[in-house]
Amino acid sequence: MSNPGSSLRKGADFVAAGLVAPQQAAAIDRVAARYAVAITPLLAGLVDAADPGDPIARQFLPDGRELEASDGERPDPIGDLLHAPVKGIVHRYPDRVLLTPLLHCPVYCRFCFRRERVGGDEKALTAAEQATALDYIRARPEIWEVVITGGDPLMLPTPRLAALMAAIEAIGHVQVIRLHSRVPIADPDRIDAALLKSLQLERCAVWLAIHCNHARELTDSAAAACRRLSGIGIPLLGQTVLLKGVNDQADLLEALFRAMVAHRIKPYYLHQLDLAPGTGHFRTPIEQGQALMRSLRGRVSGLCQPTYVLDLPGGHGKVPIGPFYLDSVGGVTDWQGGHHLYPPAP
């Protein structure tokens, strides 16, 4: 595992790296006193400090506006805790569960929906807590898929990750293990031979969803890490959050989704930003997201089309939110805005 001490965590670190002016250090430290802060050297090196609207800086550099709450925001925006029967498990849908073995990340997104929990004193599940979580899965034959998330599961020490993967595979009714991670983007050297071996299973299908919001995040080293993962047969999915000032333009989403597909990452979800505290300055209207997705329909391959989703507050799950092409009277709108009857008139 990479040395976590190399990450930038305090105002002085950001000043020393040339990312902010000295007078901004105190504001960063105020945010860091409330929410976890870390950015890896790789991502810090992508920041254009001369650009006040730099999309990499906007995602990862603390901003004083994070301490300002907006209407409707909530500490548990998608209702994880309402569906947590035992520590480390979220069971929202009948056939799958989330397993959160740790709540630490290589980099902390400034818009994280779990920002009230990640990076704090609650580190990894203890051996007893993990055993209880696995017993929960064993006792429920309807669970077909285990989604390992966090935090970032690829930050687990490799022997522990290997043991966890093997323990889940030994549960006969589990067919699919999906991991959610920023590591291939933020710390791609972590994707080494030992980690790859820990993900190679005999029976269960293993999928990996990679969080990426801007094409510049797909560096040469990140692309190489993705090739190493896909090279051992792990399908890669892309998770993207629609963010004001980062990717809320059609050309930026087009570049991102094309880059993903070129690196064998299938764009999976475009998320409407969740109502986490202090994230209002990132939020876009749903209507804008629908318009962006509509504009992409004819200009990029179907491989580049994610599903635009909203995770409903209160723990009610994800729903696709368009755009919509079929109206209530039998009309269909094509990607260029033309209107057609279906079935066609005789």
Here the tokens at position 123 are 């580190």
With CA atoms as reference, report the closest residue to 305 among 222, 240, 210, 226.
240
138 is catalytic: no
From 9, 54, 76, 105, active-site residue? 105
Non-local CB neighbours of 63 within 8 Å, separated by 6+ positions: 31, 110, 281
Catalytic residue check, 182: no
Indicate which residue of 30, 34, 87, 93 is catalytic: 93
Amino acid at the residue 218 = L
Look at residues 285, 270, 281 and name the one whose alpha carbon lies nearest to residue 61. Answer: 281
65 is catalytic: no
227 tagged catalytic: no
CA 324/CA 332 separation, integer angstroms: 9
Catalytic residue of the set 76, 187, 248, 311: 311
Residue 109 is among the residues annotated as catalytic for this protein: yes
204 is an active site residue: no
Catalytic residue (choose from 114, 115, 117, 190): 114
Q: Which of 9, 58, 92, 283 is catalytic?
A: 92
Count CB atoms within 10 A of the CB of residue 182.
24
Residue 130 tokens read as 């993990």
Do β-strands 236-241 and 265-271 pair in parallel, antiparallel, or remain unpaired? parallel
Choosing from 30, 74, 87, 96, which is the catalytic residue?
96
The sign of the torsion formed by the CA atoms of 15, 20, 22, 25 equals: negative
Q: Tell me which of 109, 212, 226, 304 is the catalytic residue.
A: 109
Q: What is the DSSP letter of 262?
A: H
For residue 291, what is the enclosing H or E element? helix 286-296
3-state secondary structure of 137: helix
> Do residues 99 and 148 lie in contact, with contact meaning Cβ atoms separated by under 8 Å?
yes
Report in angstroms the alpha-carbon separations of 162 from 168, 181, 187, 194, 201: 10, 16, 19, 9, 10
Is 117 noted as a catalytic residue in this protein? Answer: no
Structure token pair of residue 107: 């980099």
- Cα 217 to its chain centre, rounded Å, is 13
**Residue 99 bridge partners (DSSP):** 89, 148
Tokens at 180, concatenated: 């959610």
Tokens of 21: 């002016």
Q: Which position among 13, 187, 274, 283 bears the catalytic label? A: 274
Cis peptide before 53 (omega within 30 of 0): no
Residues with catalytic annotation? 92-93, 96, 105, 109, 112, 114, 274, 311, 318
